[in-house]
Structure 1
Amino acid sequence: MTKKVKFGVMLNGPGGHMNAWRSEDVPEDASINFDFLKSVSKKAEDAAFSFLFVADGLYINDKSIPHFLSRFEPLTLLAALAPITSKIGLVGTVSTSYSEPYTIARQLMSIDHVSGGRAGWNVVTSPLEGSAKNFSKDKHPEHSLRYDIADEHLQVVQGLWDSYEDDAFTRDKESGQYFNKEKMHELNFQGDFFNIAGPLNIERSPQGQPIIFQAGASPKGSRFAARHADAVFTNASTLEHAKETYRDLKQKAIDSGRKPEDIKVFPTLQPIVGKDQEEVRSRYEYLKNLVTIDEALAYLGRYFDHHDFSQYDVDATFPELGDVGKNSFRSTTDEIKKRAKENNLTLRQVAMEETTRESAFMGTYEEIAVQIIEWIDNDAADGFVLIPHVFGQIFEDFIDKVIPILVERGYYETDYSGQTLRDELGLKFKENRYQ
């Protein structure tokens, strides 16, 4: 039986490119333009995408990606989209380093109810050091400690989500019984970072609990994902790398006492498509020219905790940075350093590559469809998170030109697999721990 590919799409304002807002294809205020984001969401749902995904960050400065300077808070945006969509999943990013478990449990379960069981939580630990300054903290937690906090935070949230058994609320008007108190449970969690009594003041949802997404790529992050996540975002750049990551996550899930099918793997997909190679190259050059070298250096610096790369000669070999970046986007910065060293790249080359890297999925509609099928057939992915450089013609061409090829070849369904996000992704109902 042919495995069906599932797509999510990152609802990232004007798109994934740092200067996507400058494209004539999108409104300049796309990151805060609800009508525009609603339109993108509806296009994705009409194309039977499995979920919308909203990323987030908790610290900005004048060198941040422009459309990050003013953007919607994820859960607020998803709550607004819930009643005007009907099938597509709603996944939002919330930091475990800078949030309270009780509040997050309540907010996400509320969205899960409002949407009829379509909510998901992208669990992040917040890589940007400056985040601490916005939450009255003296210091940003060290990388390993952030995952220890995340582990407890998630335990608490999922424990609170099980405060009531599924049939606890009888709501019998005749007898006057609203709920069965024997089926309400206090959590009484006591840990190193959180001491939470419970119970939560909202019942379980049609899918039991919201789905847990995770994107940690460091050794500790991938172990965390293998233990807890229902779905994992990866950044595999080649088929072989993707297969290795896929096998590693599935094996770690097995080692954690889970089944391989309990965890779905979604590499990011940032395609540049066209009717022929000339159009593909033209579209790439257009995207590349949206950014200047100074903007590219600032963009690169974001990964390294806003390190100032303007102090270096841009045409000299990429500088030795030591531990710079170790406590921010660690797996990304390690990969950038490694690639620069192996290929003897200059700072200019690295900076420009990072803003508009030549995608692993760059080709004609047919070529991209064939490549997606190859990744699915070779156990490199269960699906993909589409991150369009710009929500314009390339996104629409992917829907109108690439997806029909996948449908024709039996790799994509144009109907949803059920009412909840768990149904759609082929994940089991989350059983209540007390039932």
Structure 2
Amino acid sequence: MTGRQLHLGYMYWANGTHPAGWRYPGAEHARAFDADYIVELARIAEAAKFDFFFFGDRLATGVEYEFTNTSVIARIEPFTTAAYLATLTSRIGLVVTANPTYSEPFNLARLTASLDHISHGRASWNIVTGADGRAADNYSRDEHGDANTRYDRADEFVAVVRALWDSWEDDAFIRDKESGAFVDGTKVHRLDHDGTAFQVRGPLNVARPPQGHPVILHAGTSDRSRDLGARDADVLFAAAATIEQGLAYRGDIRRRALGFGRNPDDLAVLPGLTPIVAETTERARRIYDELNALITLDDDLRFGGREPEHWAPADTIGRREDYGPGLRNLGALSQRLGYDATGHDLDHAVPAHAVDAFTPVGRQLAGAVERRTGRTVGGEHPATWRDLLYAHIVTGPLVVGSAAEVADYIEEWFRAGASDGFNIQSAFLVEQLHAFVDLVVPELQRRGLFRSDYSGTTLRDHLGLDRPANPWATAAADPTETPDTAAIAAGA
């Protein structure tokens, strides 16, 4: 396989991403903490030659998530699970999520380096700074901190972690039984980092990772998050909904990477994608409609229930009525459409003239209905208010169709330069993972877009990334250069 290569990651959502996916006949819904189940999914993705298997995480929870994604109500801890998976898989990358806001650089460097050793070079760290302020209450913090404060900490955090990974040179271990020399002390380096948020002496008490640096991932759209990603990440997750948005985002990230002195080709942008795929277009659309029919709508379809609270009173935790979603009703839909839908029957056709009054977001919802169902406002197969309400509820990039149609979507984004691949998610499991692997992956391989086998053993190999040189060793190799210990310790 030559030329630019498509990358595919798989994100583990125990019950799938569709709000009602767990209710679909035959769907898994009670195995989020079943190790055999997680291994099964990872092995399916590995057999299809995915680049990585990804564990998200969240440091707070609430039962209100039952209305949006049951997979995030309670999650298995990523590092423990990835370490277990490392012993039962051989090639697929293993992505773990960790939050610098609630971690220490030494601990994180040790965990990631150890996972890289256990997996023989397949570890990856997904950096998140955390949008849920409730996490502070779980970590003895007075406050979560604003975005700038969290990113200031994250910037320093990443620099320290990188320096810790490099604190042992690759050949620092001598292990000479005859002489009794076990290590070369000149190749083990203290950081003596004294920064704003962290003071870290070092060195790390783990040998340098097999990949040199485990692969770094990041997601975000803010200016600060883009800078962090362009400077430090190897893979960026994007939330682009259209090719135009994808082009703008990827172009901006590549320009920023260049400004940080990086080769933009060393950074892959992978939007998330939930494909609903079947042998035929008609069957895929029927699955989509069947899933939506299982969504629980608000009791008051005109205006919904109460907005979810920051956290319910202690004596009401777990009561559904205290977590009314407030979004699954015609009132919420009306706000997005810019058009009053509250007086309409859900199953009545949307009149053609209504679209003229829709907001741009409303017109996008109408377009999503057409792409997902084939039904159009005012068309021969008319879209209904129910269709628009479901499109409002089922958010995120989603493509519905046959293997060829899903492959067309992926190829169009890839060839346009709007993405370097996708982070694939399943609407429900396990059927939809099998459908993508059995139907779409072979089509992508037939088109020469995706690998038929792994060409290397590490995640860096899969992503086409070089192993980073150790700056201490690089400086020592040139006798005319004096190592800039302060810069190395700061991660520069």
User: Which runs of structure 2 are paired with 1:208-223 in the superposition (5 Å)?
Assistant: 208-223=212-227
The code of the aligned residue for 2:229 comes to A
Helix, strand or coil at the partner of 2:179: coil
How many matched pairs?
416
Structure 1 residues 129 and 348, CA, compared in 2 at 3 Å: closer, same or farther? farther
User: Which residue in 2 is equivalent to 1:244?
Assistant: 248
Question: How far apart are the structure 1 equivalents of 2:119 and 2:228?
Answer: 28
Structure 1 position 305, deviation (Å): 9.2
Q: Are 1:293 and 1:348, in contact at CA under 8 Å, matched by a contact in 2?
A: no
- Residues 243, 418 of structure 2: 8 Å contact kept: yes
TM-score, normalised relative to structure 2: 0.78
**Alpha-carbon distance between aligned partners in 2 of 1:422 and 1:266, rounded to the nearest angstrom:** 15
Q: In 2, Cα distance between the equivalents of 1:161 and 1:107?
A: 11
Aligned letter for 2:76? F
2:36 corresponds to 1:35: yes
Does 1:173 find its partner at 2:177? yes
Change (3 A) 1:305 1:55: farther
Q: Does 1:389 align with 2:406?
A: no
Q: In the alignment, is the contact (CA less than 8 A) between 1:82 and 1:115 conserved in 2?
A: yes
> What's the secondary structure of 2:460's corresponding residue?
helix
How many angstroms does 1:287 deviate by?
2.0
Alignment of 1:8-407 (within 5 A): 8-65=9-66, 66-294=70-298, 314-316=329-331, 317-318=334-335, 342-343=360-361, 352-353=390-391, 355-357=393-395, 359-407=397-445
- Structure 2 counterpart SS, 1:434: helix
Q: For each residue in 1:385-408, what CA deviation from the matched residue of structure 2 results, as whole angstroms up to 9, or x when unmatched? A: 001111232221111111111111
Q: Which amino acid aligns with 1:138?
A: D
Contiguous gaps of at least 5 residues in structure 1:
320-339
Q: For residues 348-368 of structure 1, give each alpha carbon's deviation from its aligned partner in whole angstroms, at most 9, with x where no partner exists.
A: 999744542484522211111
Q: Which amino acid in 2 is paired with 1:150?
A: A
Structure 2 contact 298–328 (Cα < 8 Å) conserved: no
Deviations 1:192-232 (A, max 9, x none): 11111111100112211101000011121111110110110
- 1:117, distance to aligned residue in structure 2 (A): 0.4
Residue type at the aligned position of 1:15: G
Between the aligned partners of 2:104 and 2:388, the Cα distance in structure 1 is: 38
| Separation of aligned partners in 1, 2:442 and 2:283 | 20
Of 468, 475, 492, the residue aligned with 1:430 is 468
Q: 1:270 to 1:313 in 2, by over 3 A?
A: closer
1:331 match: none
Seen in structure 2, the aligned counterparts of structure 1 residues 310 and 51 have a Cα distance that, compared at 3 Å, is closer
User: What is the percentage of aligned positions where both structures have the same residue?
Assistant: 36
- Cα distance in 2 for partners of 1:272, 1:235 equals 18
Question: Structure 2 stretches of 5 or more lacking a match?
Answer: 313-321, 337-357, 366-384, 474-492
- Contact 2:136–2:142 (CA<8 Å) still a contact in 1? yes
TM-score norm. by structure 1 comes to 0.88
Q: 3-state SS of the aligned residue for 1:41?
A: helix
SS of residue matched to 2:32: helix
Asked if 2 retains the 8 angstrom alpha-carbon contact of 1:299 and 1:355, the reply is: no
Report the AA paired with residue 47 of structure 1: A
Shift of 1:372: 1.3
Q: CA deviation at 1:138?
A: 0.8
Larger radius of gyration: 2
Name the CA shift for 1:178/1:138 in 2 (closer, same or farther; >3 Å).
Answer: same
Give the Cα separation in 2 of the matches to 1:150 and 1:350: 40
CA-based RMSD: 3.0
Alignment CA distance shift 1:218-1:302 (3 Å): farther
Report the CA distance shift for 1:68/1:357 in structure 2 as closer, same or farther (over 3 A). closer
Q: Tell me which amino acid in the other structure corresponds to 1:414.
A: S
Partners in 2 of 1:424 and 1:239 — Cα distance?
25
* Cα deviation, residue 274, structure 1: 2.1
Q: CA deviation at 1:281?
A: 1.3
